[in-house]
Amino acid sequence: MAENADLLALLAEMKKSMEKGQEEMRKGQEDMKDEMRKGQEEMKDEMRKGQEEMKNEIQTHVESKVGEIKDHVNSCIEKIEEDVQSVRREIGEVKGEVERKIEEVEDKVQGKIEEVKEKVQVKIGDLEKRLSELEDRPINFPANPDLTYSRPTVKSLTFDGQTSWTVFKTQFDVVSSANGWNNRVKATADVERLMSLAYAECPQDVRDSLAAQYFVDAIRDEDTQHATRLMDAKDLKSALAYSMKYEAAKTVSKTSRNVRSIEVEDGTGKEKDEKFDCLLKTLEKLLNSHVAGKKNTPRRNPNVTCWKCNKKGHVQRECQTISPNQEN
């Protein structure tokens, strides 16, 4: 019994010691937990401080870099503006130089145009003088069929309303003289054209008959008028041809009595034609040069309508349209 009591007492002490050890262990765990909690909080505070410091450092670095970039961009912009101003100054200088060159060229061109105009006027005056001398030169020998040759027909240019009328008139006179168009041929063409315009609604044979009648009435020589009237021509061309033949025969009959025999070489007329053709070509070149100087002349109002052809750009008196009646 005594041994059992000692064993129980020993067990009780061991139990107390164990409970005491467990209590100490519990306290130690709580202390460790407190320390660990404090350590975690301290680590969190340090990490927070480190993040804030790093954030501040990064922000400071970024701000410094941004400032450097701004300064660099501003310096580049200033340089670009200086370059632009320099380019503008150079452009202004070049523009002024170009304007001066243009003015010099315009003055030179205007001087050349005036010089060409003067030369053209001088040439035209010389040609008119020569033509007047040729027209005034009398022909005192009859036409010999064995010595005659066919003169080539020179085509007249069409008046376009832009060329000077004086220049066109001079050229037309040269062509008229080259083709042998006398005043009667010109008058015949005018009568035929006016008849076509005045009696546009009449038949062609009626217009031809009226034109021939008016032409015969306008012949001044009584003998020629009488002979042409007796011929009873049906159209204007027949009346003109007959009257010209009658006058030529009449002239030859009057002058053949006092005409001396002459000898004419076959190449004389051909040589004259070649000289006359050369003269025409020279006149044409001069006229083209004169027309080239007129390119800056203001044109007619394009809205002007011709009453003859109903086209815009010219008036009726300058219309070059040939009606079917005129072609006949």
Q: What is the pLDDT of residues 202-226, one digit of tens each?
A: 777 777 888 788 788 888 888 888 8
DSSP H/E element including 216: helix 204-218
Specify the pTM: 0.26
Choice between 85 and 316, residue whose per-residue pLDDT is larger? 85
DSSP reduced 3-state for 294: coil
Q: What is the mean pLDDT of residues 126-154?
A: 52
pLDDT score recorded for residue 145: 41
- Do residues 266 and 240 lie in contact, with contact meaning Cβ atoms separated by under 8 Å? no
- 142-148 long-range CB contacts below 8 Å, 24 or more apart? 142/252, 142/255, 142/256, 142/259, 143/248, 143/252, 144/264, 147/264, 147/266, 147/269
What is the average pLDDT value for the chain, to the nearest integer?
74
Our CA dihedral for 154, 156, 157, 163, rounded to 10 degrees, sits at 120
Percent of the chain with pLDDT over 70: 66
Q: What is the pLDDT of residues 19-43, one digit of tens each?
A: 888 888 888 888 888 888 888 888 8
Q: Give 107's pLDDT tier (boundaries 50, 70, 90).
A: confident
Residue with tokens 């139990």: 15
pLDDT score recorded for residue 286: 61
Q: What is the pLDDT of residues 177-211, one digit of tens each?
A: 777 777 767 776 776 667 667 666 777 777 788 87
Residue with tokens 């320390």: 35
Q: Which of 211, 209, 168 is nearest to 187 (CA)?
A: 211
Q: What is the DSSP string of 15-59?
A: HHHHHHHHHHHHHHHHHHHHHHHHHHHHHHHHHHHHHHHHHHHHH
> Between the CA of residue 287 and those of 123, 137, 169, what are the distances in Å?
10, 26, 11
Other Cβ atoms less than 10 A from the Cβ of 192: the count is 22
